[in-house]
Amino acid sequence: MKRTVTASFGLFCAIVLLVCAVPGLAQAQKPPLLFVLDTPVLQGAEGVLHVAVVDPNTGKGMSGLEGSFEVNIAGEPVVPQVEAETAGLAVAIVIDRGGISRPGDPRLGHALDLSEQLLQQLQVDGSENADLVSFIGIAELDKPENWSLAGFTDYDPQLIRNEFETIRGQAINGVTPLFNGIDQAVEWMIHDAGVSETDTIDQEDLNRRRRVIVVFSDGIDNKFSDRAHQLTLIQKCRENGIILYTVRLEHSGRATGSATLEVLASETYGRFERHLATDDAVRAKVLSMFSDLITQRNSYRLTFPFRNPKGSYDVNIKVTDAALGNAQAQTRISSNFQLPQIAMTSPQNGLQVTVPYTGTQDSGAYLATTVSFQAALTFPDGVTRDITRVRYYADLQLVGESTTAPDFAFVWDVSSLTVAAAEPQTHTYTLTAEATDPLWEQRFTSEPVSMTVVWQPTPPPTVVESSLTWLELNWWLLLVLAGLLIGLVVLFILNARMKGELGRKIRAGTTGVLKGVTRPLSALSAPAQGKLVVVQGAGMGKEFRLSGQVSKIGRDPQFCDFALYDEFVSNPHFNVYLDQGNYYIEDTGSRNQTRLNGTIIPPNQRQFLQPDAIIEVGATRLQFKRLGGNTRQLQQPGMQQPGMQQPGMQPGAPAAYPQTPPASPPGMPGWGGPTQAVPEVGLPPNQPYSGGAPGQPAPGGYSAAAPQNYPPTQMGPGGYPPATPQNYPPTQMAPGSGPWGQLAQPPQQPPSQPVDPNQRKP
């Protein structure tokens, strides 16, 4: 209550100061008035707002300000597009009938005539931008039936004229509430424009028009118009952009109010004029005020970009005039913007797709299998956007996009998403669709859709496929085998080369030794004139014909012409030479030496071979036999041919030889390896050779040599016959005196190189 009294007192002081300063106010220039005619609306991504600019000094609407506006939304400046438009007026005519409608007072008639003049200037024709007009005739407060009320109309001015004629001539003797009548007009403009069932004007129509109240009164309201009510009325007009234009009706001899109408007009940025029927100049000013008021039909359409999300935002508008200065106004704009919505219409949620496999494991493939994608767009805020592209994702990975509106169809090939395997493969994909809102440049995504893809397994591999797979996995084994094969080939070649080289060395050595004694072979090989027969040891009975100029006898068949199965025999052990029809034996420096008829022969020295001579090497005995020649005469036992007695032989002594140890059987040691030393084993003297009978198999499966009758021989030490002399004296045998017939002197032994007796071959 205390605050109300203080406010009222402050308003009273202000009114008093204003009244006192009326002459000064008439001289000062007020800045322009900026009125927001409607609530900003959204049209797509733009806000639209209508404003009017009024010069309060003249009451005229100001034009030509298209480039003078600034717009700021939520603190961010935007650049508006400004166009001049005709928005129309909403005019409420209020006539205070108390004090001017008594009998004999012409001022009610003057007020009705002025109202008609104003009505004629308004455009009440029902068009889109037509003016709205209403009428209130104030009567006594306690007699509401005497009030004249006509709600807003935009097409029938006759309704207003009918009210004029209704109150014309009616007398009101009581006191009328001026402020109540004005307040009723304000309420019509703010809250409810209609006062009858036939009224079709809504609040939106009023908000888009410049709102003006024109008051005709004598200015006297002593009973109902107190200062607090006046202040409230002014505040409501300011808050809603309502301008009051007041006309004080004067007449000679009639009383009028002091400054009430002037204060109402001034505080609401309107105009005040006085009217006196007898003063044409004063009347002209009133009509001019009406003409200026009509110019407020001019307005400006402000279009500005607006893409704020859903919510309410402050809009500040500023206009600048070079002469009067700046004017500002504020309003709010509500955004209903929402992101569009997108939904995948294909495939359906939970879809399962099977990808079949055709062909073999290696040459087959998955059959082409596709899934169709489609999407639908909706706009919950009612603002349609031009969306031109939709992207599709599987497990957040982009799989494709489509620009084919409105369903944005896309085909996804799922047959190539994996590699064929022996087991079935299954994967569940989460599919989404995405687009971009062109208004906000923001992306929006659909709800996820689940889809399962099953790839069929490959058939079992064929034998060829399994082999190829094994080779692919174990290719390195081929390299190893190839390396081993190459190594074997290299070893074989090296071995062959080594054998060849060793053979060449042996042949070269042998050729060097026999260079002086070797004779070239004739075109046809001569028949053998002698042979060697194994009479004791391994291979007993085996024969070897001595057909070559040089015959090598030893243990290894690779180096010898005649191999003996005896580990005590060297390689070679001895050689037999054929020279001019005679045979000679030569020890090649063997380890275990060579015995000829029981006598060790020196190494590398040739010894003449007599027929039936016994050769002992290692544990083997061989007998030399001559082939061909004349038949020898068989001598009687105890007889000898003249000249054939051997030195050291006792007449009549049998040619007996000691028994040798048994020979190694075939396959036992005796072929390769080092030569073994002959064990010192005593042989029983005078042991005759126990071979098989002539023509009968001997032990070992060989034919036994025919028994020979040898002249008596004087046995040497140990029971062995004496060694054959190395050099034979020339002996001339009489024809037919011996088994060989005429025998010339045997050839002399070729000179031999001195040999170290300790040297032995392996």
How far apart, in whole angstroms, are the C-alpha atoms of residue 375 and residue 343?
5
In the predicted structure, residue 285 carries a pLDDT above the cut 90: yes
**For residues 518 and 506, what is the distance between their CA atoms, to the nearest angstrom?**
16
- Residue-wise pLDDT for 405-430, tens only, equals 999 999 999 998 998 888 999 999 99
pTM for this one? 0.49
- 528-632+650-677+711-724: CATH topology is Tumour Suppressor Smad4 (2.60.200)
Query: What average pLDDT does this structure show over 466-481?
Result: 83
Give the separation between CA 4 and CA 336, rounded to whole angstroms: 41
Which CATH fold would you assign to the domain 341-462? Answer: Immunoglobulin-like (2.60.40)
Q: Give the pLDDT mean for 452-481.
A: 83
113 contacts: CB under 8 Å, gap ≥ 6: none
Residue spans of alpha helices (H) in 240-362: 260-267, 280-294
Q: Cβ neighbours of residue 385 under 8 Å, at least 6 residues apart?
A: 340, 379, 437, 438, 439
Given a cut of 80, is residue 328 above it in pLDDT? yes
Structural contact between residues 212 and 296, judged by C-beta atoms closer than 8 angstroms: yes
Please say whether the beta carbons of 619 and 678 come within 8 A: yes
Of 564, 502, 506, 497, the closest CA to residue 536 belongs to 564
Residue 692 has pLDDT above 80, yes or no: no
Burial annotation 655-675 (CB, 10 A radius, 16+ → b, else e): bbbbebeebbeeeeebbeeeb
Report domain extents, the chain.
28-86+304-337, 88-270, 341-462, 528-632+650-677+711-724
In this prediction, residues 246-275 reach a mean pLDDT of 86
Helix (H) or strand (E) holding 135: strand 132-138
Torsion angles phi and psi, residue 536, rounded to 5: -160, 140
> CA-to-CA distance for 273 and 247, rounded, in angstroms?
5
Q: Determine the straight-line distance between the first and last CA of the chain, rounded to whole angstroms.
A: 149
CA 663 centroid distance within chain: 85
Q: Which residues of 537-564 are buried (b: 16+ CB within 10 A; e: fewer)?
A: bbbbbbbbebbbbbbbbbbbeebbbbbb
Q: How far is CA 654 from CA 224, 599, 632, 644, in A?
A: 194, 18, 19, 15
Where residue 753 falls among pLDDT bands split at 50, 70, 90?
Answer: very low
d(CA 235, CA 225): 15
Among 262, 263, 116, 93, which Cα is nearest to 182's?
Answer: 93
How many Å apart are CA 430 and CA 447, to the nearest integer?
A: 10
Q: What is the pLDDT of residues 299-316, one digit of tens each?
A: 999 999 988 888 899 999
Residue 386 β-bridge partners? none
- Taking residues 40-68, what's their average pLDDT? 89
By the 8 A CB rule, do 190 and 211 touch?
no
Residues 6+ apart with CB under 8 A from 340: 377, 378, 379, 380, 385, 387, 435, 437, 444
Q: How many CB atoms lie within 10 A of CB 406?
A: 10
Percent of the chain with pLDDT over 90: 45
Distance CA 69, CA 295 (A): 20
Residue 18 has which token pair? 């204003």
Output the pLDDT for position 526.
Answer: 63
Give 317's pLDDT tier (boundaries 50, 70, 90): very high
Looking at every residue in the chain, the average pLDDT score rounds to 79
Right CATH number for 28-86+304-337 from 3.30.930.10, 3.50.50.60, 2.60.40.10, 2.40.37.10?
2.60.40.10
Residue in the block written with tokens 């005619």: 37
Rounded Cα gap, residues 301 and 218, in angstroms: 39
Give the separation between CA 208 and CA 543, rounded to whole angstroms: 147
Inter-CA distances, 672 with 246, 540, 662, 700, Å? 153, 19, 19, 22
Contact call for residues 457 and 355 (beta carbons, < 8 A): no
| CB distance 703 to 541 below 8 Å | yes
Domain 28-86+304-337 identical in fold to domain 341-462: yes
Instruction: Find the range with the poorest average confidence among 16-30, 63-77, 463-477, 599-613.
Output: 16-30
| CA pair distance 727, 671, nearest whole angstrom | 34
- Of 22-36, 201-215, 525-539, the range with the lowest mean pLDDT is 22-36
pLDDT of residue 477: 85
Cβ atoms within 10 A of the Cβ of 488, count? 10
> What's the sign of the alpha-carbon dihedral 82, 85, 87, 88?
positive
What's 15's DSSP letter?
A: H
Residue 569 pLDDT greater than 90, yes or no: yes
> What pLDDT does residue 406 have?
93
Is the peptide bond prior to 699 cis by the omega test (within 30 degrees of 0)? no
pLDDT (average), residues 534-554: 92
Q: What number of other Cβ atoms are within 10 A of residue 727's Cβ? A: 9
Give the largest Cα separation in the chain, rounded: 220
Confidence label for 95 from pLDDT (cuts 50, 70 and 90): very high
SS3 for 458? Answer: coil
**588 and 761 in contact (C-beta within 8 Å)?**
yes
Query: pLDDT-based confidence at 157, cuts 50/70/90?
Result: very high
Of residues 1 and 63, the one with the higher pLDDT is: 63
* pLDDT band at residue 510 using 50, 70 and 90 as cut-offs: low
Q: For residue 10, what are the contacts with CB-CB under 8 A and spacing of at least 6?
A: none
* 661 preceded by a cis bond (ω within 30 of 0): no
The mean pLDDT of 205-231, rounded to a whole number, is 84
Q: Does position 467 have pLDDT exceeding 90, yes or no?
A: no
CA distances from 238 to 232, 328, 472, 494 (A): 10, 14, 94, 123
Residue 266's nearest CA partner among 284, 245, 283 is 245
Superfamily in which the 88-270 domain is placed by CATH? von Willebrand factor, type A domain (3.40.50.410)
